[in-house]
Amino acid sequence: MTTQLDKLYESLRADILNLVLSPGLRLSERMIEARYRGPSRTPIRAAMLRLEANRLVQKVDRVWSVTPLSLTHIMQACEFRIGIEREGVTLACERAQPRKLEQIEAELVPSDTDASRKDWLHSGCEFHVELMRLSGNELYVEAMQDVMQRLARIRWLEVVNEAGRARTIIEHREILRHLRAGDAAAARDAVTRHALETQQRHQDTLAKSVMRTGSLVIGGSNYDQP
């Protein structure tokens, strides 16, 4: 059964990801009560803590706000991702079991571009997390989970692009093909190209959003270091 907390969390999360609640916006309990039809303080506070764990809100001097979204933060997160993913797939080439590779492709590489935005975001995130799990090193898994959380909002904006989705399917399959072959150099090159192309799409998406909204990029996040 969906609880009041779950409903509130999903509503807040969707509004933050869609920029209905803009980066840097202060969030008071009174405002949330009014906007989301009167949830009590207990689920509001619980929802904010869950959003904080997902790096979507932050608390400074006892005041909650939507975590700022900055180009610097996004580029640092992308650079960090490239570093850990290159090393992770190197280990995965040595340690991955064929059945695990087949499972990842079957479950996390869509056959077409028709998935909902939420499902697409989830499968894309989990694909890269599961690649790191193939390394056999949980620290790589945790690092990838963290960096994907940091990139969640820009990825949410970017995944509506059907051409980008189609390209992602091709690139994910290429990465898996090199892992099956045990070709570490080719796997490293493939994840690097994929990450750099994704980074460029993030930059383009952010630039378009700034042109549309006029004030999307805001500095000062507590989460500026990946």
Q: Supply the pLDDT for residue 210.
A: 61
Q: Supply the pLDDT for residue 159.
A: 81
pLDDT tens digits in sequence order for the chain, 226 residues long: 678 899 999 999 989 987 889 888 999 999 999 999 877 889 999 999 999 998 899 999 999 999 988 888 889 999 999 999 999 999 999 999 999 999 999 999 998 889 998 899 999 999 999 999 999 999 999 999 999 988 988 888 888 778 889 999 999 999 999 999 999 999 999 999 999 999 998 888 777 766 555 445 444 444 433 3
Q: Can you tell me the distance from the alpha carbon of 205 to that of 208, in angstroms, rounded to the nearest whole number?
A: 5
Residue ending a domain, among 66, 86, 114, is 66
Residue 225 lies in a domain: no
In the three-class reduction of DSSP (H, G, I as helix; E, B as strand; rest coil), residue 9 is classed as helix
The domain in which residue 57 lies consists of: 4-66
Domain count, the chain: 2
Are residues 106 and 146 both part of a single domain?
Answer: yes
Q: Which two tokens stand for residue 94?
A: 């040595």
Are residues 95 and 187 both part of a single domain?
Answer: yes
Handedness of CA 31, 34, 36, 41 (dihedral sign): positive
Q: Supply the pLDDT for residue 219.
A: 45
Q: Give the helix ranges, DSSP H, for 109-161.
A: 117-133, 138-150, 152-158
Q: Supply the pLDDT for residue 212.
A: 54
- Check which CATH number belongs to the domain holding 32 and give it: 1.10.10.10
Question: Checking DSSP bridges between strand 26-27 and strand 57-60, what pairing results, if any?
Answer: unpaired
Residue ending a domain, among 66, 87, 107, is 66
Are residues 94 and 62 both part of a single domain?
Answer: no
Are residues 59 and 27 both part of a single domain?
Answer: yes
- Check which CATH number belongs to the domain holding 103 and give it: 1.20.120.530
Q: Supply the pLDDT for residue 211.
A: 53
Are residues 36 and 103 both part of a single domain?
Answer: no
In the three-class reduction of DSSP (H, G, I as helix; E, B as strand; rest coil), residue 159 is classed as coil
Residue 220 lies in a domain: no
Are residues 61 and 122 both part of a single domain?
Answer: no
Are 82 and 196 in contact by the 8 Å Cβ rule? The answer is yes
